[in-house]
Amino acid sequence: MQISEVRVKLIENKDDRLKAFCSVTMDNEFVVRDIKIIEGTNGYFVAMPSRKMSDHCDKCGGKNHLRARFCNNCGTQLSDDRAKKDMKGRMKLHADIAHPINADCRKKIQDRVVTAFKDELEKSKMPGYKPVDMDEPDDEVPEIVT
């Protein structure tokens, strides 16, 4: 796998640990969007895209996030122990959408993303800087005819 492009969108809030969002294109064929660049105690690291996990109310079947105390649909009080726990005993509230399979792949992605982030930080200090447009379409996708 070759990382063919990294796009970085800096975040304005200087007090937050979240510093940027990015997209990574692999082999000029596959894009992973919404990768977060976070400032940790040991420097920058990447967090892969994830979604909030949810479950359904026993009474009405309404969908609720795992931290919800009451059903969004019928108002019934929900149990506090609905979330599965990870190996450290913490509630598992998010599920990865995409993630590297091994440590070597994670390091390759993280190193490339952090380098692109630092480059974008330097560019942002230049006069006339224009932020990356993350919504700019990639190459045209051919219509699939069935």
Q: What is the pTM of this model?
A: 0.73
Q: For 94-112, what is each residue's pLDDT tens digit?
A: 888 999 999 999 999 999 9
- Residue 69 burial class via C-beta count within 10 angstroms: exposed 0-12, middle 13-18, buried 19 and up: exposed
Label residue 61 left, alpha or beta by phi (over 0 means left) and psi (-120 to 50 means alpha). Answer: left
What pLDDT is recorded for position 28? Answer: 93
Q: For 24-76, what is each residue's pLDDT tens digit?
A: 999 999 999 999 999 999 999 999 999 988 999 999 999 998 889 999 999 99
- How many angstroms separate the CA atoms of 4 and 126, rounded? 25
What pLDDT is recorded for position 145? Answer: 56
Residue 98 contacts residue 106 (beta carbons within 8 Å): no
Return the structure tokens found at 115: 């380098």
- The CATH number of the structural domain formed by 1-49+97-146 is 3.30.1120.40
Q: How confident is the model at residue 133 (pLDDT cuts 50, 70, 90)?
A: confident
**CATH 3.30.1120.40 occupies which residues in the chain?**
1-49+97-146
What pLDDT is recorded for position 49? Answer: 94
What pLDDT is recorded for position 77? Answer: 94
Return the structure tokens found at 135: 């919504």
Is a pLDDT exceeding 70 seen at residue 139? Answer: no
Which residue pairs from 120-125 have beta carbons closer than 8 angstroms and sit at least 24 positions apart in sequence?
A: 120/8, 120/10, 120/20, 121/10, 124/10
Residue 117 contacts residue 22 (beta carbons within 8 Å): yes
